[in-house]
Structure 1
Amino acid sequence: MKIRSVHIISFLFSFLILLACGEDTIEFGGTGKIKGKVVEDISFIPVENAKIELSPSGNTVFSDAEGNFEMENVTVGEYSVSATKEGFLTGFEPAQIEVGSEVNVVFELKEETANNRPPNEPKLISPEDNAIDVALTTNLVWSASDPDDDNLTFTIKIKNDKNNDEVVKENITDTIFQLTDLTTSTKYFWQVSAYDSINAPVWSKLRSFTTSNQVNSRYLYVKSSNGNNVIYSRDEDGSESALTPASLNSWRPRKNSSSNLIAFLRTDENFETQIYTINPDGSNLFKVTKTPVAGFKPSEMDFSWNSNGSKLIYPHFDKIYEINKDGSGLRLIHQTTDGNFISECDWSYDGNTIVVKTNNSNGYNVSIYTIDMNGNKKTNVLSGVNGAAGGLNLSVDGKTLLYTYDISGFESSSYRQLNTRMYIYDFTSNTRRDISANKIDGSLDIDPRFSPDEAKVIFVNTSNDGVSQKNIFTQNVNEDGTIDGTQYERQELVQDAIMPDWE
């Protein structure tokens, strides 16, 4: 019985082995092939290295540089074929495989952001459309939203009705922006765009506003913008307004109260320095000169009104010319005898005296002296010294002269100054007094002007390194040199500004 049982078990074991071997060799349904291509939606540019996967089998291949792929020996059946690539939405296509068949599949993949919606159109809130008497410093306010809650950045475009300038402010993340460089009596047009970093920017409707025509400025000065000098005015409350465009280089403002005009220097179309005039609100530009202001460095040149605002005097190399404010009546007043250039001049209130500063082509060998209206020399103030000087301004009564001098006597090709101080020269006593008593060591006091009541001066102070920021200050110049016991007290007025004038 035991032997019979063993034979039966052996037979069953052998049958199972044969059955298993038979399953390895028998085909159930056969195979086919899947070929295809992966491209970008719209552009049809091939997508390389996209992952192609069959479901439910899980077979995987990758597209080549031409976007092509191929799967062989795919068992007969129904499949879902997917194409996946970072930066694109996954594509799906069905495939029915039959024995010996070749199925072609094309994927047109869309970018992941293809379904992202653009921002809503920004709504401009303030100033109201067609608003008038808008302050020269004002806030632009708008609202914006995005249907997908994307983070938005904004761009503002601003134009005006006086010129073709367009100001563009980009990469703004807030929905409020302060404008500080507006001019009086000017109509401005503005638009805001919203950008979600995915879709094209969406622009708001165009709106406009007009600034106030009120001009209460006391101070004029120059700031740098877009690589050019721009003239600004400022009132006692600190509100400032740009009087000249940043697209043109304008500097050295000089206001005359009698004519209610501001004269200044500007580079013309021939790259020459000319005198222009404007109204206090920046309007009514007029070119006065044709023979240019010329000689030493343009930034060191200065000119002067007469007291009633009918004429100007200005330097041209070794000469001083007089000209009417309408550009007529050009007349030579004075010419140096040593060939030195005239860089600065100032005209006395009574119209009888002109003070001039001369220097060589490097800015040195300085002389400061006065002449009468026939060009005859009267009084020598400074000569025979080394170093730079300038900043001429006569007092109303003509008895004193404000000027600067670098007492270090340093001279260099870069016209660097080391210890420039302010002085008041007394023509009666032929003496001078130093009013830079509180000047910081290593700094310069330059470009001084008397205040209208001559109790103070306005001036620029900066480091003598030649590259630091320049700031405008005021200080008293009383005979005893004190205010409440503080000698020559200084007060900062404007940062990062030069060439002040005080009316």
Structure 2
Amino acid sequence: MKSKLFLILLLLTMSYACKEDTIDENGTGTLTGTVVSEGDNMPIENVRISTTPASNTVFTNAAGKFVIQNIQVGEYSVQADMDDFLPAFEAANINFAGEEVNVVFELMESTAGNRPPSSPELIYPPDNATDIPLIVDFSWSATDPDNDDISYTLEVLNGSDSEVLLFEEIQDTTFTVQNLRIGVNYFWQVEASDGINPPVQSEVSSFRTMDENTNRFLYVREVNGNNVIFSGADTDDDDDGPNENEIQLTSENKNSFKPRKNNTAGLVAFLRTEGPETHLFSMKPDGSEIRQITSTVPVAGFRQDEIEYTWFNSGSKLYYPNFNKLYAINSNGTGNQLVYETPPNEFITEIAVNEIDNRVVLKTNNALGYEVKIMVIDPETDTILTTVIENELGAFGGIDYAANGNRVLFTQDVSGFQNGNYRILDARIFEHDLTTGVSIEIDTDKQAGTNDLDAKYSPSEGGVIFVNTPNDGVSQQDIFVARFGAIVVKELVFTQAFMPDWE
């Protein structure tokens, strides 16, 4: 009997003891915590904290801390979520009412295992390449092992003056750079970045741009209402078509025209509008070092687009007109002097020089562009040596003088048409033999209703360069080369271009 009573008491005691240790499922506690970044233990703000089973969702403060109050007693999985970090989980048990449990999260950046892109491989221009055009389509290749998007930075260094061209946020593996300098050694490098890892760089590669003698042609185009000077080339490869190696030399914000290169001086002269006047300027063949030559006496006469000037004395001087006066000026702008004068109503419009004997061919005309005279003069003796054209109707132009001094090139409107607008109907190219006094037309296979204008000899005088355009005065102008032979070969070299020069 006593043993049974003892057993009952023992069971009641054990039952009471167990009841004291059991979780009170009806109570609530508090869950606190801190979230830091792995490695540097910096607190992370605005991390989303949630639990499973669900309770309240809260966010960390600036110190990386959070509190969930009145959380039911129980076992929880606590989750921390933040952009750019991997989700993290911690266990938390609220065992009894009023208990406060603390957890700590160390969040790992989601890119912690990310790998950088490969070092870019430079493709074009090849290392140590030469004769590269001044417009370069740079290309390279790179890959990313995690397929991240790659952005590139292209750096191009001018080896002559250390100027750096920097192009950032390139999203492709090709990039076009324009207006590089003639005859310059360049160095280039590409940097690749996936926005996660430190950028990686390519090797440094070098190339040299084409020599200034590659672009032997100069011409003009209208851009944004101004005349702009360009240079270009014409290689033997017919597949390249017209407009080869085009380089813009002057600004679109200035009206620049009538370029004339002198190889001895290493300069290009040209005309530029400055306020109400037109003046002579010079520049390097790459368009650099522009300087004004004339100042007190401007270039003036009949129609600025018809006026010509010329180099002489091995590129140290220039002749230019001011109405009926011919001036000579040093290429540095000094020593301006009057050297020849025509009657007041005879404007000097075009000038060409023979360097052998320093004789000068002049074209004069009246204020409307007619009553033309083309004559060979000796400015030292102030005498007219030969008259090539006089007392003929119509417009003339395109004056040039052969190197041997026995031929003069010109264009003539054979229709003889004259009106107040200086319209030209049928201009053709002629060559006048000063020995025989005979002028012969150069057949360029000109189409009816067009004009051949602005004719000049090629450097070898084995052909001519000229402009062909419809005779309405408003249509497109194109530049052609006609090479002499048993059959004259005509080639389109530049489109929508005029005022050619070929040296």
2:296 corresponds to 1:289: no
Shift of 1:285: 6.8
Partner of 2:9: none
Is the partner of 2:216 in helix, strand or coil?
strand
| 1:204-231, Cα deviation, whole Å (9 max, x unpaired) | 4545455687x86583225889996443
Answer whether contact 1:357 1:390 (CA < 8 A) is retained. no
Deviates more, 1:135-144 or 1:71-80: 135-144
> Given the alignment of the two structures, is residue 353 of structure 1 paired with residue 352 of structure 2, yes or no?
no
* 1:304 CA drift (Å): 1.2
CA deviations on 1:410-463 (whole Å, 9 max, x unpaired) are 999xx9x9978543375887978585653486x775543222454532234568
Matched, 1:135 2:168: no
Contact 1:457 1:475 in 2 (8 A): yes
The aligned counterpart of 1:79 is 76
Q: Establish whether residue 231 from structure 1 lines up as the match of residue 228 from structure 2.
A: no
For residue 158 of structure 2, the aligned residue among 153, 157, 160 is 160
Q: Distance in 1 between matches of 2:428 and 2:443?
A: 6
Query: Contact 1:74/1:97 (CA < 8 Å) preserved in 2?
Result: no
1:345·1:357 contact (CA, 8 Å) conserved in 2?
A: no
Listed one character per residue, the Cα deviations across residues 243-292 of structure 1 (whole Å, up to 9, x for unaligned) are 997789886543456x37443338799998544365x8x69979683438
* Pairs within 5 Å for 1:457-476: 457-461=464-468, 472-476=479-483
Q: How does 1:415-454 map to 2 (within 5 A)?
A: 421-424=427-430, 426=432, 437-439=445-447, 446-454=453-461
**Residue 312 of structure 2 is aligned to residue 314 of structure 1:** no
Letter in 2 for 1:393: D
Partner of 1:54: 50
> Following TM superposition, by how much is the alpha carbon of 1:75 offset from its aligned partner in structure 2, in angstroms?
2.0
Residue 6 of structure 1 aligns with which residue? none
* Distance in 1 (alpha carbons) for counterparts of 2:199 and 2:454: 47
Matches within 5 A, 1:61-210: 61=57, 73-82=70-79, 84=81, 88-92=84-88, 94=90, 96=92, 98=94, 99-100=97-98, 116-122=114-120, 131=128, 134-137=130-133, 144-152=142-150, 154-163=152-161, 165-167=163-165, 171=170, 173-174=172-173, 183-184=182-183, 186-196=184-194, 202-209=200-207
Whether the aligned pair in 2 keeps the contact of 1:346 and 1:356 (CA below 8 Å) is no
- Is 1:331 aligned with 2:330? no
Structure 1 pair 68–124 and aligned structure 2 pair: CA distance change class (3 A) = same
Deviation by residue 1:470-499 (Cα, 9 ceiling, x = unmatched): 654212578xxx82xxxx653123567654
Q: Cα 1:77–1:314, aligned 2, differ >3 Å: closer, same or farther?
A: farther
Match of residue 263, structure 1, among 265, 268, 293: 268
Query: 1:45-75: CA deviations, max 9, x gaps?
Result: 976xx8x463422457586999999866532
* Equivalent-residue separation in structure 2 for 1:127 and 1:251 (angstroms): 33
Local SS of the residue matching 1:135: strand
Task: Letter of the 1:159 partner, please give it.
Answer: L
Instruction: Label 1:367 to 1:56 Cα distance change in 2 as closer, same or farther (>3 A).
Output: farther
Change (3 A) 1:261 1:175: closer
Partners in 1 of 2:351 and 2:326 — Cα distance? 8
Return the offset for 1:331. Answer: 1.8
Amino acid in the other structure paired with 1:264: A
Q: Letter of the 2:502 partner, please give it.
A: W
Q: Aligned letter for 2:192?
A: A
Contact 1:345 1:354 in 2 (8 A): yes
Cα 1:265/1:164, change in 2 over 3 Å: farther
1:2-53 CA-partner distances (Å, limit 9, x unpaired)? xxxxxxxxxxxxxxxxxxxxxxxx9724234668999999999976xx8x46
Give, in whole Å, the separation in 1 of the partners of 2:194 and 2:223: 28
1:168 shift after superposition:
5.3
Shift of 1:323: 2.7
> What is the DSSP-based 3-state SS (H/G/I as helix, E as strand, rest coil) of the residue aligned with 1:119?
coil
SS at match of 1:313: strand
| Amino acid paired to 1:191 | Q
* Conserved? CA contact 1:314–1:321, under 8 Å: yes
Aligned partner of 2:8 in structure 1 is none
Instruction: Indicate how the Cα distance of structure 1 residues 392 and 61 shifts in structure 2: closer, same or farther if over 3 A, else same.
Output: farther
Secondary structure in 2 matching 1:146: coil
For 2:105 and 2:448, how far apart are their aligned partners in 1? 74
After TM superposition, the structure 1 = structure 2 runs for residues 264-279 of structure 1, keeping only pairs within 5 Å, are: 264-265=269-270, 273-276=279-282
Looking at structure 1, the residues matched to 370 and 105 of structure 2 have their Cα atoms a distance apart, in angstroms, of 82
Q: Are 2:419 and 1:402 aligned?
A: no
Question: How far apart are the structure 2 equivalents of 1:497 and 1:118?
Answer: 50
The count of aligned residue pairs is 451
Q: What amino acid sits opposite 1:31 in the alignment?
A: T
Cα distance in 1 between the residues matched to 2:132 and 2:177: 10
Runs of 5+ unmatched residues, structure 1:
1-25
Distance 1:410 1:45 in 2: 85
Quick one: distance in 1 between partners of 2:371 and 2:166?
Answer: 47
Q: Give, as a single letter, the amino acid of the residue that structure 2 aligns with 1:56.
A: T
The amino acid that maps onto 1:263 is V
Q: For residues 345 and 188 of structure 2, what CA distance do their matches in structure 1 show? A: 54
Query: Offset of 1:348 from its aligned partner?
Result: 4.5
The secondary structure found in structure 1 opposite 2:359 is coil
Corresponding position: 1:220 with 2:214: no
CA deviation map 1:113-140 (0-9, x unaligned):
67644434435578787x5x83345997
Cα gap change, 1:103 to 1:470, in 2 (>3 Å): farther
Any conservation in 2 of the 1:119–1:145 contact (CA below 8 Å)?
A: yes
Deviates more, 1:324-333 or 1:28-37: 28-37
Secondary structure of 1:320's match? strand
Verify the 8 A CA contact 1:333 1:373 in the aligned structure 2: no
Verify the 8 A CA contact 2:465 2:482 in the aligned structure 1: yes
Distance, in Å, in 2 between the alignment partners of 1:326 and 1:40 is: 70
- Structure 1 contact 32–97 (Cα < 8 Å) conserved: no
- Post-superposition Cα deviations, 1:138-172, rounded to whole Å, max 9, x if no partner, equal 99776644343445454433333444654556747
**C-alpha separation in 1, matches of 2:35 and 2:475:** 60
TM-score by length of 2: 0.61
Between the aligned partners of 1:225 and 1:72, the Cα distance in structure 2 is: 77
Give the letter aligned to residue 322 of structure 1: A
- After superposition, the Cα gap between the structure-2 partners of 1:75 and 1:262, relative to the gap in structure 1 and judged at 3 Å, is same
What residue in structure 2 maps to residue 23 of structure 1?
none
CA deviation string 1:160-210 (max 9, x = no partner): 3444654556747447989996633x3322222224466675444545455
Q: How much has 1:322 moved relative to structure 2? A: 1.3
Counterpart AA for 2:429: Y
Greater mean alpha carbon deviation, residues 488-497 or residues 335-344: 335-344
